[in-house]
């Protein structure tokens, strides 16, 4: 039953990753657990769950780019993004219920994430251009956000790859996170990016909130890049 699968997942949960912000840990993982239990009951594979996540996310991205900018559509976009993010959490949990994932499934998950991150802010660029054609300076915000988000995600993957080659715990190693760290990292949470589209139909409010998240992402990448560079530099040091 769905309830049994949910309880099994709850018992199997490990500590969250050291670099995981609060929404991802305390909201998205739990939403994903519910969806994973349902998917397991329906006999869905982890790859099928990843595709469901992609359908939700890219439906939202299409609406951002091409649909009218209204309050009801903003609510729908936010809902689709939140569900897409939750299904993204569910695919790994389904794999755990089925006895483990596969390299192919991990590749598909990262491939979809990369495409989603690269596309989302470019869709915002198109959407804002349609409602603010005479404010080209504001269009720099989603451009910067797209560059920063893509670079951050690629940097995290590269860090994990290089640390794995040297048998060093990665940024996403389970069990190292704390509540305080998760709250500090909250402004960088993709979940907040999903929720900011609740304001999509109110362009001034959206711009303020979206710009704040962009600034937080820029600051995080600037600080993280220095930290990552030093950590990778120590990989070649003698034990």
Of the candidates 171, 176, 149, which has an alpha carbon nearest to the alpha carbon of residue 160? 171
**Predicted confidence pLDDT, tens digits, the chain (239 residues):** 555 555 555 555 555 556 678 888 889 999 999 999 999 989 999 999 999 999 999 999 999 999 999 999 999 999 999 999 999 999 888 988 887 778 898 999 999 999 999 999 999 999 999 999 888 899 999 999 999 999 999 999 998 888 888 767 665 555 555 666 776 777 788 999 999 999 999 999 999 999 999 999 999 999 999 999 998 888 866 55
For residue 163, what pLDDT is reported? 83
Q: How far apart are CA 129 and CA 146, in angstroms?
A: 15
Tell me whether residue 239 is in a domain. Answer: no
23 and 189 Cβ atoms separated by less than 8 Å: yes
Residue 159 lies in a domain: yes
- CATH classification at residue 224: 1.20.120.1760
pLDDT at 150: 94
User: pLDDT value at position 218?
Assistant: 95
207 assigned to some structural domain? yes
User: Which pLDDT value is given to residue 8?
Assistant: 58
In a domain, 127, yes or no: yes
Position 90 scores a pLDDT of 93
Tokens of 159: 């860090």
Q: Which domain holds residue 67?
A: 2-234
What pLDDT, on a 0 to 100 scale, did the predictor assign at position 176? 52
Q: How many separate domains does the chain show?
A: 1
- Position 174 scores a pLDDT of 52
Structure token digits, residue 67: 């649909």
Residue 129 lies inside a defined structural domain of this protein: yes
Round to whole Å and give the CA distance between 28 and 203. Answer: 26
Q: Is 166 inside a domain boundary?
A: yes
Question: Is residue 170 one of the residues assigned to a domain?
Answer: yes
Residue 55 lies in a domain: yes
């Amino acid at each position: 039953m769905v309830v049994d699968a949910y309880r099994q997942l709850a018992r199997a949960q490990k500590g969250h990753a050291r670099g995981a912000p609060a929404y991802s840990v305390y909201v998205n993982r739990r939403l994903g657990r519910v969806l994973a239990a349902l998917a397991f009951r329906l006999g869905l594979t982890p790859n099928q769950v990843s595709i469901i996540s992609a359908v939700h996310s890219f439906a939202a991205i299409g609406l951002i780019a091409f649909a009218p900018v209204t309050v009801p559509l903003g609510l729908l976009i936010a809902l689709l993004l939140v569900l897409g993010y939750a299904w993204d959490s569910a695919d790994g949990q389904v794999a755990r219920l089925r006895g483990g994932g596969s390299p192919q499934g991990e590749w598909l998950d990262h491939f979809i994430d990369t495409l989603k991150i690269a596309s989302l802010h470019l869709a915002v660029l198109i959407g804002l251009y349609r409602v603010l054609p005479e404010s080209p300076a504001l269009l720099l915000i989603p451009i910067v956000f797209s560059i920063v988000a893509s670079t951050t995600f690629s940097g995290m993957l590269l860090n994990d790859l290089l640390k794995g080659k040297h048998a060093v715990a990665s940024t996403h190693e389970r069990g190292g996170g704390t509540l305080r760290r998760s709250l500090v990292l909250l402004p960088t949470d993709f979940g907040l990016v999903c929720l900011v589209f609740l304001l999509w139909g109110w362009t001034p409010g959206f711009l303020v909130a979206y710009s704040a998240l962009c600034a937080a992402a820029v600051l995080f990448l600037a600080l993280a890049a220095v930290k990552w560079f030093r950590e990778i530099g120590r990989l070649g040091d003698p034990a």
